[in-house]
Amino acid sequence: MELRQLQYFVAAAKAEHFTKAAQRLNIVQSALSSSVRALEQELNAQLFVRTTRKVRLTAAGRALLEKAEIVLDAAKDAREAVSAVAQAKSGKLNLGTVQGLPAFVDLPFLLARFHKRHPHIDVRLIQGGAAHLLEKVRNGKLDLAFLPMFDPPSDISTVTIACEELVVVCNKAHSLAARQVVSLDEIAAHAFVEFEQDLGTRKIIDDLFLTAHIDRKIAFEVSDLGTLMELVGHGLGIALVPESVARSRAQILSVCRLKEADACWEVVLASSATSGDALPRRFEEIIGSDAAGLEV
């Protein structure tokens, strides 16, 4: 049983005439008659009593008409719902972000701009580690996620939205405070304040030292940027942070650059490579068209 068969059946039932119904549907009368016969054969029931002048419903036909109208109304609602989502008139958008993202992207600004353009879209935002967010993108629980740069698997698409140099921050009384440029070897001799595994810049910095075959001492592991910067400010360790983060604390912390040119923090917007949903694309358009939301 197809929706088109039900549509033809309802039209004939309302018009009580096959030819008039066919004209209203803009089809030939033979196509409508053939469709109704096929429906009767499938249901093994006569739906119309046919005469030369008009047709009228049988008891079986009246029973089907009630249900057919419900089905066609539901199909219409379904089409309208899908159309509304495709046109960003309704729906839900699930976003994820790593902590510390505001140093690169003014996410609240972007969310406000998206809400202004698409007020009927429900937006949900969660924070988490990169691996955790990536898995949620992969299994469809997140539409988009702001992540540190990584080598994306084949089922993940990424768009780079921010890139910054990592710099060293330390207390103004620290022995490195007077330096302008330092190497990984030099800073490895000092205690570090770091993010916990899979949070913030941790993986990037771990890979940086691992590639250089240099060991370092991590004195504190934290879960948020504010605590990390407070510990550095109290002289309990040094840290590698994005330049914009360091710049925002320049009055209380000293900053020096790394000799290693590849010490960079990149943020990408990750999505499922197989997703064809319209809402994630609409949010990407907000980022692409509004440079004011990007601070780097």
Give pLDDT, residue 198. 79
23 or 279, greater pLDDT: 23
Residues forming a β-bridge with 165? 264
Whole-angstrom distance, CA of residue 215 vs CA of residue 193 = 14
Mean pLDDT of the region 271-281: 70
Give 66-88 pLDDT, tens digit per residue.
999 999 988 887 886 776 566 55
Give pLDDT, residue 234. 95
Give 127-153 pLDDT, tens digit per residue.
888 888 989 998 889 989 988 876 667
Write down all domains in the chain, each with its CATH number in brackets: 3-86 (1.10.10.10), 91-162+267-292 (3.40.190.10), 163-265 (3.40.190.10)
Q: Is the pLDDT of residue 102 over 60?
A: no
Q: 3-state DSSP: the chain helix, strand, coil percent, rounded to 5?
A: 45, 25, 30
Whole-angstrom distance, CA of residue 65 vs CA of residue 58 = 10
Closest C-alpha to 277, from 94, 33, 20: 94
Q: Is the pLDDT of residue 56 over 70?
A: yes
Give pLDDT, residue 78. 81
Give pLDDT, residue 296. 38
SS3 of 107, please?
helix
Give pLDDT, residue 209. 93
Q: Is the pLDDT of residue 224 over 50?
A: yes
